[in-house]
Amino acid sequence: MSDALLSRVRDLLARGALDEANVLASDALAAAPRDPVAWYMRGIVENRRGDYRAAVKALRMAIDLDPSAGLSWLSLGNALARLDDLPGATRAYQAVVSREPGWADARYNLGVVQRRQGDLDGAARAFHAAWSLDPMMFDAARQCVSTIGELARRPDGFVSSAFTRAAAAPDYSFTLGVCSIDEARLERTTARYRRLFAGTRHEIVAVRNPASLALAYNDIVQGSDADIVVVSHDDIDVLADDFVARLSDALDSFDGVGVVGTTKLAGPAIGWSGHPNLRGWIVHHVPGEDEWSADALHPSAREGIIVALDGVFLAAHRKVFVDVPFEATTFDGFHLYDLDWSYRASDRGYRLGVAGDLLLVHASRGKYGSEWERYAERFWRKHGLTECAPKASSFFGARFGAAEQARQFFLLLAGLGRELALS
């Protein structure tokens, strides 16, 4: 059976010419009744016509003649799913995955039928694999976070030792810099750092009412003799008790890290480049409200080849900040200093990454008012970027009523990533 004929049938189906596609499939079978491709063509035509029992019969014949044909298994799974034979559809999709592990569509379809059967663990794995294989498969992303969200809400919990990170004790010393105009927020954040870094060589530098973040951060770096310098917003929290070990582990691999970033800089915001360039995980929670939003831009916790990082949290080996200081002349306020610094550091050859498994919580989603727009104009001019509209981007998230559920969500998401890497 020629590839041209099969392509012709698919084209007719795509255009809705079912009768013409049916004639071609019938003629193909009449000419070659033992050809698995001809039976596959009959199966996909019957699927489109809505005669799913006929489709199953044709596709089983195609598989009997050629058991290695992944497309026949995939179409069989689709027909069985439409007949509500979910166990049969599951077996068919699993057969596809075993033969074609890189097919994101098969993984996604497997997740759908597993979830319909109540197998949330299996569905989460399948959706995560599909999303990882194709970061532009947004339905897989949404289904993945939704399914993991259901698991995280289980009252008995679900995170086993297989999903936790055994991090080594850190060998680094740290300078932790926080700037604020709000004394209460500054005290809360420094208290969190004292708790997280207890037992680790560290100093906390609190800067009140800074003239600009770039100036304040440069002063913090100049006064430090630590291995690592951390600078962050004053409205963050952390859900990982082993935060310091996770951070140290990330800085063993990267020169600098954040929790949200992009592999392509297209404008004056991380999200400007759109998917699939975006990376990172973060929890959003406004103090006083009950909702905790666990938000992911990408299925992986750790990602490199980052060219720009969001300034909600930045950590780097001190030599990086010394070699590439914050630019305090152009960015003499509180916006765009972070993208400018990380973009220049990446351009200098430093390895930047995101470490979403730090489980950072931010009390704000950011503000893009007139003051930000003023610095955005400076950013466009300085970096010679062609002004363009931002591409569509969004976090894929699940909402929770408790911080522990958000923590559980990301522990499982990280565990799924490790499982996939080992598979």
pTM here? Answer: 0.90
Same domain, 136 and 42: yes
What does the pLDDT read at residue 162? 40
Number of domains in the chain: 2
Run of H or E including 231: strand 228-232
Q: Which residues contact 286 (CB under 8 A, 6 or more apart)?
A: 363, 364
Same domain, 256 and 148: no
The DSSP annotation for 37-49 comes to HHHHHHHHHHHHH
Of 20-24, 294-298, 372-376, 405-409, the poorest mean pLDDT is in 20-24
pLDDT grade for 368, boundaries at 50, 70 and 90: confident
Q: Which position has the higher pLDDT, 162 or 398?
A: 398
Contact 344, 234 (CB under 8 A): no
Peptide bond into 276 cis (omega under 30): yes
Number of C-beta neighbours around residue 292 at 10 A: 23
Same domain, 139 and 264: no
Rounded to 5°, angle at Cα 377 from 371 and 380: 140
Same domain, 242 and 108: no
SS3 186: helix
Same domain, 138 and 264: no
For 39, how many CA atoms within 13 A lie in the half-sphere containing its CB?
21
In a domain, 214, yes or no: no
Same domain, 141 and 248: no
In a domain, 50, yes or no: yes
pLDDT digits (tens, 9 = 90+) for 80-136: 999 999 999 999 999 999 999 999 999 999 999 999 999 999 999 999 999 999 999
Q: How far apart are CA 51 and CA 44, in angstroms?
A: 10
Q: Are strands 308-309 and 174-180 parallel, antiparallel or unpaired?
A: unpaired
Task: Give bridge partners of residue 231 from the DSSP assignment.
Answer: 177, 314
User: Which of 101, 128, 152 lies at the terminal end of a domain, its last residue?
Assistant: 152
pLDDT digits (tens, 9 = 90+) for 189-213: 999 999 999 999 999 999 999 999 9
What does the pLDDT read at residue 2? 65
Q: With the CA atoms of 51, 53, 59 and 63 taken in that order, what torsion angle do they form, in degrees rounded to the nearest 10? A: 170
In a domain, 26, yes or no: yes
In CATH, what number is assigned to the domain containing residue 107? 1.25.40.10
SS3 91: helix
In a domain, 418, yes or no: no
Q: How far apart are CA 231 and CA 189, in angstroms?
A: 11
Same domain, 243 and 373: yes
In a domain, 95, yes or no: yes
Contact 153, 316 (CB under 8 A): no
Q: Which position has the higher pLDDT, 115 or 20?
A: 115
Q: What is the mean pLDDT of the chain?
A: 91
pLDDT grade for 167, boundaries at 50, 70 and 90: low
Same domain, 144 and 246: no
Same domain, 240 and 148: no
User: Which of 135, 152, 169 lies at the terminal end of a domain, its last residue?
Assistant: 152
Domain span including residue 130: 3-152
Rounded to 5°, angle at Cα 188 from 186 and 189: 65
Instruction: Please compute the mean of the pLDDT values over residues 66-81 and round it to a whole number.
Output: 95
pLDDT digits (tens, 9 = 90+) for 266-298: 999 999 999 999 999 999 998 888 899 999 999
User: Which of 152, 172, 199 lies at the terminal end of a domain, its last residue?
Assistant: 152
pLDDT grade for 352, boundaries at 50, 70 and 90: very high
Same domain, 17 and 133: yes
In a domain, 256, yes or no: yes
C-alpha dist (Å) from residue 229 to 150, 175, 215, 340? 37, 5, 15, 18
Same domain, 139 and 10: yes
pLDDT digits (tens, 9 = 90+) for 398-417: 999 999 999 999 999 999 98
